[in-house]
């Protein structure tokens, strides 16, 4: 059975939640492999809208096993709130949700450090969500983090907490002039969280190995997007984890030899949140129109997203880094009323044309997009069941994007609900999952 990775091909918010939800009936297991509750995956089922932060989007399908991998950082309070909200809406968690014992905890001092650091940076701030995700990854890399498994041993948890609180209090007090923390005030609620979460905490790497041996099909769900990767993104305006397909291995314990393909997810235009360079960013009324049509506000923070035209330089970079076999294109319908649409084919910097994404931040900031302009289709795309149902100019737009990025599209999303999804003829998805089209009818 095929095991595939679904990864964001831009700056996140591409619609991975919907794509994972659409593909979940084809697999047995869905695994989140990085990020924390700074992610927000929105899934619409009929008239019901779900916003998931730490739990994989596959949880909305009865019987799908969902795993929070070791590469995720977990805020237990936020996770429990998310779990309770799902249970209240009739979602079955017992027997379907598994949390890695090696996943690191977000502690109360992590958001405090996150917010204090951002305030200190001033105009150089990153634009984080303030959820403490970055500081939790800092502790992980510094080998002083506290893991989910530590919650299950009160003595070990207390010892690690006491050491960390002493260190973090000194930083908060002496560097940031910020309030400090008391060990007992943290210990009591976290031990209650341990009681809630203990039935779900396990050695998920071993579990996944057993499931692979048993012939189960796995889907790895990324958070954020390629351009926010800690190593390959627009540093320092990035997240603190490996968002690319390579992170699926380190964040789960599944070896690369057991992964058979990768699907990138991209909008028909581009968005990003927070600070950092954004070559194709729109301005004025055009951006406001796209933001309104696409409801471009963060699922986690509600912040308005910056909107830009489709950037094929970014997509080619994502294809190369992730080894993408195909791309799922979302929000085509947002462009339905655009008379003219721009597509970035290259950058221009100091008289030179650049077709490969530049690693130099100064080059990226100074780069000007080279645009092609195409005519819009000015008619609705939602409701189509095949590419032939799309307006001719929309099909031309898709063909040009495929030509520029070098891989075919597999899915075209024309609306928020599951059924507003077209499966493209000849897609690698049909080779991996022959019944995917039937599942959408």
Separation of alpha carbons 407 and 438, rounded Å: 24
The catalytically annotated residue of 21, 41, 333, 420 is: 41
| Contact (Cβ atoms closer than 8 angstroms) between residue 135 and residue 107 | no
Separation of alpha carbons 190 and 184, rounded Å: 10
Annotated catalytic, 232?
no
| Of the listed ranges 116-120, 127-131, 153-157, the one predicted with least confidence | 127-131
With 0.85 as the threshold, say if the pTM is over it: yes
Neighbours of 351 (CB within 10 A): 5
- Which residues are CB-neighbours of 387 under 8 A, at least 6 positions away? 395, 398, 412, 422, 424, 425
* pLDDT tier for residue 110 given thresholds of 50, 70 and 90: very high
Q: Of all residues in the chain, what percent carry a pLDDT higher than 70? A: 98
The catalytically annotated residue of 13, 114, 139, 333 is: 13
| Contact (Cβ atoms closer than 8 angstroms) between residue 414 and residue 422 | yes
pLDDT tens readout for residues 411-420: 999 998 888 9
| Contact (Cβ atoms closer than 8 angstroms) between residue 125 and residue 230 | no
| Contact (Cβ atoms closer than 8 angstroms) between residue 183 and residue 161 | yes
Annotated catalytic, 13?
yes
Residue 30, beta-bridge partner list: 66, 219
* pLDDT tier for residue 119 given thresholds of 50, 70 and 90: confident
Report CA dihedral (183, 188, 194, 196) to the nearest 10 degrees.
Answer: -150
Separation of alpha carbons 387 and 37, rounded Å: 36
pLDDT tens readout for residues 43-80: 877 778 888 899 998 999 999 999 999 999 999 999 99
Between the two ends of the chain, the Cα-to-Cα distance in Å is: 23
């Amino acid at each position: 059975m095929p095991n595939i990775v679904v990864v964001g091909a831009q700056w996140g918010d591409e619609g991975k939640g919907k794509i994972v939800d659409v593909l979940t009936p084809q697999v047995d297991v869905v695994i989140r492999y990085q990020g924390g509750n700074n992610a927000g995956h929105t899934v619409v089922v009929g008239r019901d809208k779900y916003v998931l932060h730490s739990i994989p989007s596959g949880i909305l399908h009865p019987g799908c096993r969902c795993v929070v991998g070791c590469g995720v950082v977990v805020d237990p309070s936020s996770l429990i709130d998310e779990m309770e909200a799902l249970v209240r809406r009739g979602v079955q968690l017992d027997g379907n949700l598994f949390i890695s014992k090696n996943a690191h905890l977000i502690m109360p001092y992590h958001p405090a450090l996150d917010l204090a650091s951002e305030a200190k940076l001033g105009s150089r701030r990153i634009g984080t969500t303030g959820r403490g995700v970055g500081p939790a990854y800092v502790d992980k890399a510094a080998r002083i983090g506290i893991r989910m498994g530590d919650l299950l041993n009160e003595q070990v948890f207390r010892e690690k907490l006491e050491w960390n609180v002493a260190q973090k209090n000194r930083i908060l007090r002496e560097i940031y002039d910020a309030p400090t923390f008391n060990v007992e005030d943290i210990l009591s609620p976290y031990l209650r969280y341990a009681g809630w979460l203990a039935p779900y905490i396990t050695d998920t790497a071993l579990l996944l190995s057993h499931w692979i041996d048993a012939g189960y099909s796995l889907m790895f769900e990324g958070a954020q997007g390629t351009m926010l990767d800690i190593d390959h993104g627009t540093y320092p305006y990035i997240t603190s984890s490996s968002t690319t397909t390579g992170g699926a291995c380190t964040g789960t314990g599944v070896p690369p030899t057991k992964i058979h393909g990768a699907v990138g997810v991209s909008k028909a235009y581009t968005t990003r949140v927070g600070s950092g360079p954004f070559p194709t960013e729109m301005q004025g009324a055009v951006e406001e129109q796209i933001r309104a049509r696409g409801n471009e506000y963060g699922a986690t923070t509600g912040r308005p997203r910056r909107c830009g035209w489709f950037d094929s330089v970014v997509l080619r970079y994502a294809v190369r880094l992730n080894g993408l076999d195909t791309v799922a294109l979302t929000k085509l319908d947002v462009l339905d009323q655009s008379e003219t649409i721009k597509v970035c084919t290259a950058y221009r910097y100091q008289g030179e044309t650049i077709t490969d994404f530049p690693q130099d931040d100064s080059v990226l900031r100074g780069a000007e997009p080279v645009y092609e302009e195409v005519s819009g289709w000015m008619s609705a795309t939602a409701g189509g069941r095949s590419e032939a149902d799309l307006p001719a100019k929309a099909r031309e737009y898709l063909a040009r994007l495929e030509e520029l990025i070098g891989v075919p599209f597999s899915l075209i999303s024309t609306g928020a609900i599951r059924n507003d999804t077209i499966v493209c003829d000849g897609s690698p998805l049909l080779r991996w999952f022959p019944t995917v089209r039937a599942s959408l009818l």
